[in-house]
């Protein structure tokens, strides 16, 4: 029987839930225009705002030099067969991650499967993994698909000798010894959004927080936003709502249409979303209703969302070098099979996407001056 979520998910959910509950007190609402709560009148809050701005400025200066990189000694990755499982090809980040993994596998001389679309469904992920076992694949890369939802099946794959890599999803305790983790710094990603809200709000206002508890990465990021905002105390009021990927197929989506109706102009300042696949329809719905008063944040910096940020319909997002990380996923799997030590690739830094720099991120973050494809070609002896 597959466990619905690994222990890391439960732990993150519990922590996030406590944070959100403590943040959503019953005290009086502090609207963004309340001059009595300005950071200028509160030196402690002024320091919080200044520190948040410093972290944002540092993140805006992040370059390829700050990215975790592999050892450059060449090795032979061999000739292997790898299954590529996408969380959903309808999600731009998942599609980009999957394409990068396929490209990297081909460069390494491996044979990748067609990209398998799990459509955000754990049963489909489990079915694909069982196929990998039966068809004797050497490796599986989960491109934002969640192995924590299929612990028993993933462990069966490990017992069959299949090397597994979770790309952009934290690995729970139940799979720590069975699945390699390759991720952006998801805590930093959440902190950046929290810092941005702090600087934009002057440490006061109202925030609607949305989380998708089916994905540990989403909860970890949203939890990290809340963690930053709690520095402001009760001058930032937060309400939280759990959503599901099934909501995305509905106009609005309905939870957002309801939130706009229940929170008239001036009563909701920010909306934090778990990923850009939901930020985009929310931004369009808000624009259609003339609700430019609500600033919508996101995660991933998908091309559609970057355009919405440039036009002012979405406020901000955070993006990561998913192309590079796709190559890292194959490299780590190859190193495991070659008996080589792995390197840390669980805290790759992110970039904040704003209206000012949106033009620099047409396809997520491709770090300037970093030819990672040539680097891996050299490492794998393919030059």
Contacts of 43 (CB under 8 A, 6+ apart): none
Same domain, 315 and 198: yes
Strand partners, 211: 242
The closest alpha carbon to 205, from 234, 177, 184, belongs to 234
pLDDT of residue 43: 86
CB-CB neighbours of 156 under 10 Å: 16
Per-residue confidence (pLDDT) for residue 102, from 0 to 100: 99
In percent, the amount of the chain with pLDDT more than 90 equals 86
Same-domain pairing of 220 and 281 = yes
Could you list the residue range(s) of the whole structural domain that residue 143 is in? 74-183+321-345
List, in sequence order, the alpha helices (H) in the chain: 7-23, 43-60, 92-108, 122-134, 151-159, 186-201, 216-229, 254-262, 276-288, 303-311, 322-337, 372-379
Q: State percent of the chain over pLDDT 70.
A: 89
Residue 225 domain-assigned (yes or no): yes
Task: Residue 254: count other Cβ atoms within 10 Å of its Cβ.
Answer: 11
Q: pLDDT value at position 41?
A: 62
Pair (98, 160) in one structural domain: yes
Quickly count: other Cβ atoms within 10 Å of residue 346's Cβ.
15
Phi and psi dihedrals of 365, rounded to 5?
Answer: -110, 110
Average pLDDT over residues 262-275: 97
Among 39-43, 190-194, 356-360, the range scoring the smallest mean pLDDT is 39-43
Q: Is residue 301 included in any domain, yes or no?
A: yes
CA–CA dist 206, 186 (Å, integer): 24
Task: Specify the pLDDT at position 54.
Answer: 97
User: Is the confidence at residue 23, as pLDDT, over 50?
Assistant: no
Is 229 in the same domain as 302? yes
Q: Are residues 81 and 16 in the same domain?
A: no
- Which backbone phi and psi does 210 adopt, to 5 degrees? -115, 135
Indicate whether 1 pLDDT > 70: no
pLDDT bucket at 209, cuts 50 / 70 / 90: very high
Q: Do 227 and 296 sit in the same domain of this protein?
A: yes
- Residues 114 and 165 grouped into a single domain: yes
Q: Could you say which of 302, 319, 336 is where a domain stops?
A: 319
Q: Which two tokens stand for residue 367?
A: 């770090």
In a domain, 105, yes or no: yes
Q: State which of 272, 304, 319 marks the end of a domain.
A: 319
pLDDT value of position 211: 97
> What local confidence, expressed as pLDDT, does residue 249 receive?
85
Q: Are residues 23 and 100 in the same domain?
A: no
Token pair for residue 280?
């985009």
pTM of the full structure: 0.88
Assess whether 147 and 210 both reside in one domain: no
Integer CA distances (angstroms), 88 to 39, 67, 145, 161, in order: 43, 26, 8, 26
- Judge if 312 and 252 occupy the same domain: yes
In the predicted model, is pLDDT for residue 14 greater than 80? no
Residue 170's closest CA among 312, 9, 341?
Answer: 9
pLDDT score of 245: 85
The distance in angstroms from the start CA to the end CA of the chain is 46
Q: Is residue 370 part of a domain?
A: no
Among residues 320, 311, 304, 308, the alpha carbon closest in space to that of 352 is found at 320
Q: Rounded to whole angstroms, how far apart are CA atoms 47 and 58?
A: 17
What value does the mean pLDDT take over residues 127-136? 99
> 373 in a domain, yes or no?
no
Strands 351-353 and 317-319: antiparallel
pLDDT band at 147 (very low <50, low <70, confident <90, very high): very high
Q: Which residue has the higher pLDDT, 153 or 244?
A: 153
Predicted pLDDT of residue 199: 98
- Average pLDDT value over all residues in the chain: 91
- CATH number of the domain to which 88 belongs: 3.40.50.2300
- In tens, the pLDDT along 300-358 reads 999 999 999 999 999 999 999 999 999 999 999 999 999 999 999 999 999 999 999 99
* Token code pair at residue 331: 């490299």
d(C-alpha 129, C-alpha 372), whole Å: 29
- 353 sits in the region (left: phi over 0; alpha: psi -120 to 50; else beta) called beta
pLDDT band at residue 20 using 50, 70 and 90 as cut-offs: very low
207 lies in the same domain as 312 = yes
Q: Looking at the predicted structure, is the pLDDT value of residue 15 above 50?
A: no
Please state the rounded mean pLDDT for residues 57-73.
Answer: 95
Is the pLDDT at 9 greater than 80, yes or no?
no
Whether pLDDT at 83 is above 70: yes
Q: Is residue 268 part of a domain?
A: yes
Residue 307 and residue 193 share a domain: yes
C-alpha gyration radius of the chain: 21
**Residue 295 β-bridge partners:** 270
- How far, in Å, CA of 101 to CA of 322, rounded? 10
Report yes or no: 187 and 164 within 8 Å, Cβ to Cβ.
Answer: no
In the chain, the number of structural domains is 2
106 within a domain of the structure (yes/no): yes
The one-character DSSP state at 341 is P
- Is residue 375 one of the residues assigned to a domain? no
- The answer to whether residue 162 scores a pLDDT higher than 70 is yes
Rounded to an integer, what is the distance from CA 193 to the centroid of its chain? Answer: 12
Listed residues 272, 303, 319: the one ending a domain: 319
**Residue 174 CA, distance from chain mean position:** 21
Determine which of 15-19, 24-28, 43-47, 94-98 has the lowest per-residue pLDDT on average.
24-28
């Amino acid at each position: 029987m597959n466990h619905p979520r690994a222990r890391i998910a439960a732990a993150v959910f519990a922590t996030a839930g406590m944070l959100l509950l403590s943040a959503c007190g019953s005290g009086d609402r502090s609207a963004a225009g309340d001059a009595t709560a300005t950071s200028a009148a509160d030196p402690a809050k002024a320091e919080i705002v200044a520190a948040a701005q410093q972290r944002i400025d540092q993140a805006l200066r992040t370059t390829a030099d700050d990215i975790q990189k592999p050892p450059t000694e060449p090795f032979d990755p061999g000739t292997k067969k790898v299954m590529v499982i996408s969380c959903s090809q309808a999600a731009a980040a998942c599609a980009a991650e999957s394409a990068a993994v396929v490209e990297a596998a081909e460069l390494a001389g491996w044979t990748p499967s067609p990209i398998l679309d799990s459509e955000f469904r754990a049963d489909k992920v489990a079915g694909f993994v069982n196929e990998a076992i039966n068809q004797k694949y050497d490796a599986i890369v989960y491109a934002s698909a969640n192995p924590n939802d299929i612990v028993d099946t993933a462990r069966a794959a490990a017992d069959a000798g299949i090397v597994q890599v979770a790309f952009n999803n934290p690995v729970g305790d139940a799979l720590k010894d069975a699945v390699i983790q390759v991720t952006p710094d998801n805590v930093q990603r959440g902190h950046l959004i929290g810092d941005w809200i702090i600087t934009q709000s002057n440490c006061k206002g109202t925030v609607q927080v949305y989380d998708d508890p089916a994905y540990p990465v989403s909860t970890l990021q949203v939890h990290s936003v809340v963690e930053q905002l709690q520095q402001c105390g009760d001058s930032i009021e937060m309400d939280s709502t759990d959503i599901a990927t099934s909501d995305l197929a509905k106009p609005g989506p309905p939870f957002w249409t309801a939130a706009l109706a229940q929170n008239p102009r001036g009563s909701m300042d920010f909306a934090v979303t778990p990923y850009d696949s939901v930020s985009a329809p929310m931004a369009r719905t808000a624009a259609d209703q003339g609700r430019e008063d609500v600033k919508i944040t996101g995660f991933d910096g998908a091309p559609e969302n970057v355009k919405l940020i440039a036009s002012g319909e979405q406020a901000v997002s955070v993006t990561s070098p998913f192309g590079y990380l796709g190559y890292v996923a194959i490299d780590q799997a190859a190193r495991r099979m070659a008996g080589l030590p792995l390197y840390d690739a669980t805290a790759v830094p992110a970039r904040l996407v704003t209206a000012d720099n949106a033009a620099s991120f047409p396809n997520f973050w491709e770090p300037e001056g970093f030819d990672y494809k040539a680097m891996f070609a050299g490492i794998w002896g393919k030059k």
